[in-house]
Amino acid sequence: MKLKPGGQESGAVTPVVQEGTKEATEESLDDPPMDHGLTAWLQVVASCIMCSATWGLTNTFGVFQAYYMNVLLPSSSASSISWIGSVQLFLAMGVGAPVGVALDAGYLRSLIVAGMVLEVLGMLLTAQCTKYWQLFLLQGVVVGFGMGMLGLTSQAVIPLWFKKRRALCSGIAAAGSNIAGVAYSIMLRHLFYSIGFPWAVRILAALLLASTAFCLAVMRLRDGPPKRPTKPFNLHHFRDLPYTIFTAGFVLMITAVYIPYFYISEYAILLGLADSFSFYLLAIANAGALVGRLIPNYIADRVGALNTLTPCTLLAALFALCLYATTTLGSLSAVSCLYGFVSGALTALSPAILANLTADPSQIGTRMGMAYTLAAFGGLVGSPIAGALKGKAVPGDKMEIVQRALLAGWTFCAVVLVIAAGIFIYVRSMKVGWGRGKV
């Protein structure tokens, strides 16, 4: 029998696997093995650092919100200032669909470079701002676009390297946002009043540059067959009902989950608590979220990510309502920490669930990006709606007036989270019924 060039027998039948099929993708993803190796764990470290440089800014915006209201922009309303952070969050998630497609096509390094340039440049220019429109354009829009290039990247790389430990590694990566939330909140609180707003923001920009440069050096996609270009928003994915319905709940969850982070510092100031301590509430909430991204995600790998997400969502709604009853530093600190714990689980578990609902690993970036793009609209309107619902109150008002002023915002947050939890329960029933089952 004759041999063809390369040693293949001319009479042998060679199975043909079409490029782009599930079989080809899974075969390519088996080498190197999942869940093992230095390169895989370096992706966890780099994703954690990248989360600190992106979502960490979102978790720190409450410090900017309080500083703008009391020092830089005292004539602006809470709702208008919150639009800066909301637009930033919207763009960080809103460009997820094209970013996901670019990741699936292999453009990881290009996305990191583009995000790094936009984020660092935007913060450097923010340091020069004195007017609302300037802050909106630079901190909201420019930095938001940069975060969008990096934020989804930090979440989508992990499922390519991990399966058995997917939820835990996603939680470790997401914990970077809360490490930054604690560190940046305390750092900016001191620097704003010691060296001034411009130099404080420049130092933050330098940290962002160093963080993203490290990620550029070590982050890698898994080797696989060449990816065929796809549409950024392919409607055929919504024929998968569990994925579609979960995405609807994810949108509602993002609408509500950041509201306490935006207003908790202002609430403490209105209650007449120590102004200096109010800035630390964000650090306390982020410290709670840091633990909340680890313990629930560790449990999720054993009992199911969706099984863990649902009770955490209901607890987040409960603790949001409990903010109404907090009137002392101790009670406000305790509730902030508890809310941070469960809210950290919500945002850390969601990427793992989206990956678990995707049968073809080569489509993880695209489907995750589509969900993030839709959720961006929830993040855009959630905090401004809570700000618009907030009643009028100023420091020095009676405690009852301050509590009533914030009650509508806390209630809005809780109700939306309860609806989201109901959707998650329904998705679970679609996957495993109403009995026991890991999902």
| Confidence (pLDDT) at 61 | 85
| Confidence (pLDDT) at 282 | 77
User: Which pLDDT tens digit goes with each residue over 24-58?
Assistant: 444 444 456 677 788 889 999 999 999 999 988 88
24 is a domain residue:
no
Q: Which domain holds residue 166?
A: 33-221+237-432
230 is a domain residue:
no
| Confidence (pLDDT) at 167 | 84
User: Which pLDDT tens digit goes with each residue over 145-196?
Assistant: 999 999 888 888 888 888 888 888 888 988 888 888 888 888 998 899 899 9
Q: What value, to the nearest 5°, has the Cα angle with vertex 72 and ends 69 and 76? A: 45
| Confidence (pLDDT) at 15 | 39
| Confidence (pLDDT) at 439 | 72
> Mean pLDDT for each 10-residue chunk of the chain (439 residues)?
42 39 42 75 92 87 85 85 86 86 86 95 94 94 93 85 86 87 86 93 95 92 60 74 94 92 82 69 84 89 91 96 88 92 90 86 83 88 85 77 86 96 94 75
Residue 77's φ and ψ, nearest 5 degrees, are -80, 160
| Confidence (pLDDT) at 366 | 84
14 is a domain residue:
no
279 is a domain residue:
yes
18 is a domain residue:
no
187 is a domain residue:
yes
The answer to whether 426 and 432 have CB atoms below 8 angstroms apart is no
pTM reported for the whole predicted model:
0.78
227 is a domain residue:
no
Of 235, 274, 266, 298, the closest CA to residue 386 belongs to 266
| Confidence (pLDDT) at 231 | 59
20 is a domain residue:
no
The answer to whether 225 and 28 have CB atoms below 8 angstroms apart is yes
Task: Give the CATH number for residue 339.
Answer: 1.20.1250.20
Question: How many domains, the chain?
Answer: 1
| Confidence (pLDDT) at 144 | 93
